[in-house]
Structure 1
Amino acid sequence: MWTENLAMCDWANRIDYDKWTQHQDGGRRFSHMTTNISECVNSVLKGTRNLPVITLVKSTYGRLAELFVIRGQTAEAQLASGAKFCQFFMKTMNRNLRVSRCFTITLFDRHQSEYTVPETTSTRNFLLGMYRVFLRDRTCDCGYFQTLHYSCCHAVACCAQSQLDWSVYVDEVHTM
């Protein structure tokens, strides 16, 4: 039978909710962009799950040490080249830039930075969706802007329309 431990409840209630509840974390989990850390661990442990514990620990340590060296060298090379953002992020943003060129933007409120972005088929005969973008609030009806903490293709199109730099709407977590 399960009983409530009052001391444990009191201890948990003294911790800030954003530290242990996903619904209060503001879109991030301990400053990480994903809450699925277990997927990272699973990729490191791939192929070692049935090994004895000591071998599993040594294998995990070796694999992580190898990955840290590779990632460190990649990051250093990108920093040395003067990159502000990593290559993976820039690949995503280049896609957003390409897609954003196809939109027709309407500015509704210059002071609030409110735009509407109709998404149509390539022949412009069929409306796929209508999105509202609030650059000042960093939100878009598509949900990607506020979830990923960088400009979605709709926000990039709005920036281009108003001759704004899209990179100012990128959260610092994505910078080198």
Structure 2
Amino acid sequence: MSRSVNWKAALIAGGVAGVISGLVKLGWENVLPPRTPERNKTNPPQRLLEQAGIPEKVTHATYTYSGEQLPWVSYVIHFGFSTSFAMFYSLAGHYVPMIKMGDGTLFGLGVWGAFHLGIMPAMGTVPSAKDQPAEEHVSEALGHVVWMWTNDLIADEVYNKLNKK
């Protein structure tokens, strides 16, 4: 366990890593889409916001880029989730090194399992794990592994640079 942790550097490093890993996760989902087009008409971030009482006109708000309608509200939730977990991981890893086992890959699998197999199905945000297609499990599990591995790599590099190590 580290005795002297630069909290500011750890949180900045996690924030930077979270933005980059969020982009990696979006790219991953373009290669291995986790949901069918029908199920993606209202994606999990949109559904979660609707469950919180936010109207569809807000949850499905888009912007246009290169002729495509893109769900900016979903992206806010996506990057908020990514940066929050990356900042937690970056800071907590200094105090509980065990969470960094496998360079973030095991932590990523844990986040996937907790949210995609447990919390979101229990809340009714996504179908129960047994009712999700195998392709969704593969995409999300591997995507979370790559996402957290990216967080581990980037956060460590940025933290070390900020501390000039």
TM-score, reference length from structure 1: 0.25
| Structure with the higher fraction of residues in strand conformation | 1
| Structure with the higher fraction of residues in helix conformation | 2
The structure whose RCO (Cα within 8 Å, separation 6+) is larger is 2
Larger Rg: 1
